[in-house]
Amino acid sequence: MSDETLVKVQGLQKHFPVRSGLFGRVTAQVRAVDGVDFEIHRGETLGLVGESGSGKSTTGRAVLRLIEPSAGSVHFDGVDILSLDSGALRRTRARMQMIFQDPYSSLDPQATVADSVGEPLRVHRGLRGRARDDAVVELLETVGLQARHLRRFPYEFSGGQRQRICIARALAPSPDLLVCDEPVSALDVSIQAQVINLLEDIQQEFGIALLFISHDLAVVRHISDRIAVMYLGRIVEIGEAEQVYTQPRHPYTEALLSAIPVPDPVVQRRRDRIVLDGDIPSPLAPPPGCRFHTRCPYAMDVCREVDPPMIPMAGGGVACHLHDRGPRLHGRSVLEIEPRSRAAEPVHANVKP
């Protein structure tokens, strides 16, 4: 890992039009991603966590320009990829690859492993025939498969093995960035650990940066150097993995952590729990002010009116009024204060100004 920036995302927005009526007029906009900024350093793993509808997958796709962002910029190794023409984009894409959640639908069922993994070798490195197969075997061995798998079809493999094939294919053009969209969510726990270890090994060996998208904070904490937490199209907190997990600064991060059951009944049944009310509001009409205020146990008047800016902190930042206008946490953990539902005293009581 180095401090050299590989990816720089600024003001990224992706709005999907909702069409209705006879002429398909645009009647509303789904604001899937609504102003997201982050950087990925060379060789690091940035975890992107959030629940369904938070915009994390859309963000991942926009970084590779698999979808056209509505606004904002994405710089990859200093080049604005949104300005590239299709030829230049294709050449750049060799250096940024993606693996998906469902290893069943992301491989062509009629293509052998040699064809699937060999395709990027042909396109990007011009390898054919024997040379291509040799390169494929080398990649298969890297991901823990063998040469005898070369002529097999996807249906002959288990879910974990298919994800290995997808990883081999993504590695073929020697990328600098690998976007992993829920890569282990469809796998059983025992297999999940195999694939996570493989991703860590590959990163060590080739120095690839990972954008690891997942709803599972425990997995993300394990694999990431830094974590960004998304809610309703925005990053609400970003920081070092350990800080986000143990000293969260945003109430949503705290609630998310509290909601993940710990696989130990003694610990799990003694924990303080924050059960949030309701569901994530619709991204068609995000709430005014802070988007989390409708479910936030600490919500103040200002939260209903003013959209909190991202306040830079050591190792990252947080978008929450508790840090600038409320009890003035100034970047300290939100765990230091009692939510209103639990505390009789006003929120300010426990916190030094």
Taking the C-alpha atoms of residue 280 and residue 18, their distance in angstroms, rounded to an integer, is 19
Q: Which of 166, 228, 238, 256 binds another protein (CB under 8 A)?
A: 256
* CA 268 to chain CA mean position, Å: 26
> Where do the H-state alpha helices sit in the chain?
56-63, 86-93, 113-125, 129-142, 159-171, 189-206, 217-223, 241-246, 251-259, 265-268, 301-305
Candidates 116-124, 133-141, 267-275, 329-337 — which segment interacts with another protein by CB under 8 A?
267-275
Find the binding residues for another protein in span 300-329 (CB under 8 A): none
276 touches another protein by CB under 8 A: yes
Contact criterion met (CB below 8 Å) for 212 and 241: no
**Number of residues this chain uses to bind another protein (CB under 8 A):** 44
Taking the C-alpha atoms of residue 46 and residue 41, their distance in angstroms, rounded to an integer, is 9
Beta bridge partners of 312: 317
Candidates 2-10, 88-96, 172-180, 211-219 — which segment interacts with another protein by CB under 8 A?
211-219
240 touches another protein by CB under 8 A: no
11 touches another protein by CB under 8 A: no
Query: Whole-number minimum distance, CB 205 to another protein, in Å?
Result: 15
212 touches another protein by CB under 8 A: no
Query: Whole-number minimum distance, CB 219 to another protein, in Å?
Result: 5
349 touches another protein by CB under 8 A: no
Helix (H, G, I), strand (E, B) or coil at 98: strand
292 touches another protein by CB under 8 A: no
156 touches another protein by CB under 8 A: no
Helix (H, G, I), strand (E, B) or coil at 172: coil
72-91 b/e with 16+ CB inside 10 Å = b? bebbbbeeebbebeeeeeee
Of residues 26 and 267, the one with the C-beta less far from another protein? 267
Taking the C-alpha atoms of residue 222 and residue 242, their distance in angstroms, rounded to an integer, is 9
28 touches another protein by CB under 8 A: no
Beta bridge partners of 76: 7, 79
Helix, strand, coil percentages (3-state) for the chain, rounded to 5, are 35, 25, 40
Candidates 4-12, 29-37, 163-171, 219-227 — which segment interacts with another protein by CB under 8 A?
219-227
146 touches another protein by CB under 8 A: no
Find the binding residues for another protein in span 160-199 (CB under 8 A): 160-161, 188-194, 196-197
* Positions in the binding site for another protein (CB under 8 A): 51-52, 158, 160-161, 188-194, 196-197, 200, 215-219, 221-222, 241-242, 245, 255-256, 258-269, 273, 275-276, 279-280
